[in-house]
Amino acid sequence: MKFKTIEWKRDRVRILDQRKLPLEVIYQDCRNANSVARAIRTMAIRGAPAIGVAAGMGIALAGKTIRTHQPEIFRKEMEKVCSVMGQARPTAVNLFWAIHRMERVLSDTSLDVKRMRIELEKEALKIYKEDIEMNRAIGEMGKNLIQTGSGILTHCNAGALATAGYGTALGVIYAAWAEGKRFHVYVDETRPMLQGARLTAWELCKSKIPVTVLTDNMAGWLIKQGKIDLVIVGADRITRNGDTANKIGTYSLSVLANHHHIPFYVAAPISTFDFTLASGKDIPIEEREIREVTHFRGSSITPEGVGALNPAFDVTPHSLIQAIITEKGIIRRPFNKNLKKMFTT
């Protein structure tokens, strides 16, 4: 990739502001943990893996700015930072996974403040590096699911912009393309924030992969025309029975795919699994401001005073998912049994 979604700059975290794409490529320098949390909350950076990486870096950044040499005071202040970071977005489990890893560093009572700062930075950079490695492994695991001549439909953005680099669902597409396979990708625009039209299409154009954008309500028509051979999406949280939370509109695609007998795949790293939840009904669904639905680039597109709904995610039941592509391998149904087997080997 010729762009970086997020970078550690020692005294700041630099992120590519995704709200500006594709019209402007602007980087935002976050100089404290609060500004990183704000970037996550306002979707300047988004995508479950990228949110986790940003959270780790934001916590490490806070460690540099807290002025005390007393370990207990330092830990208490850092607990507050972790709490604020955890409130940024509730659905993406990678956020809490990364925070937990940073909290493990803080729980080591053998470390003084200087050493905790060093270890926090090391852990944040480790999360960043691991994410890129996991994404590339996901791509390698899933590339054989794509054949030359395929029509591929994806929703929202699960590419380099949603991760530390490379991508999950798009990582599979990139790996298949790099192997020499040639195909066409169709991208839902993904209302209301247009991550497909603005971000996924931008990424694919950068990689010179043929791409066509469609409005969300065109998907059924396109599938019925026989243009789509498989659907592949990312995930923000996967429960232990295989139910998957992803951007709102994903569930509709899974129903369409199953009705038309085409495979529906989810691509996600192991860090996206939440084994504390039995099923998708337990996943908290983020409700965002209705202004994102009623306005576009600051201008109203609905009658004044009208109500609107804005859930950021929906849940696809495991029965509609053909396989989940992870860095450890492809998991197929029955998910309850096969997920347990993968996580215990």
Helix axes 48-65 and 71-86, enclosed angle (nearest 10): 150
Helix, strand, coil percentages for the chain (3-state, nearest 5): 45, 20, 35
- pTM value is 0.94
Query: DSSP letter at 301?
Result: -
pLDDT bucket at 50, cuts 50 / 70 / 90:
very high
Residue 188 annotated in active site:
no
Q: Tens digits of per-residue pLDDT, 61-77? A: 999 999 999 999 999 99
Distance, CA of 194 to CA of 27 (rounded, Å): 20
Torsions phi, psi of 266, nearest 5? Answer: -115, 135
The answer, yes or no, to whether residue 1 has pLDDT greater than 70, is no
CB distance 225 to 37 below 8 Å = no
CB distance 157 to 256 below 8 Å = no
Catalytic residue among 131, 216, 229, 236: 236
Burial class (CB in 10 A: 0-12, 13-18, 19+), 15: buried
Q: Tens digits of per-residue pLDDT, 232-254? A: 999 999 999 999 999 999 999 99
Quote the pLDDT of residue 345. 66
**Which residue, among 110, 92, 96, has the nearest Cα to 237 in the 3D structure?**
92
Q: Tens digits of per-residue pLDDT, 176-234? A: 999 999 999 999 999 999 999 999 999 999 999 999 999 999 999 999 999 999 999 99
User: Which domains are delineated in the chain?
Assistant: 6-136 (1.20.120.420), 142-343 (3.40.50.10470)
**DSSP E strands, the chain:** 6-8, 13-16, 27-30, 151-154, 184-188, 211-214, 230-233, 237-239, 244-247, 264-267, 273-274, 295-296, 299-300, 313-316, 323-326, 329-332
Is residue 160 helix, strand or coil?
helix
Distance, CA of 179 to CA of 156 (rounded, Å): 24
Distance, CA of 131 to CA of 234 (rounded, Å): 14
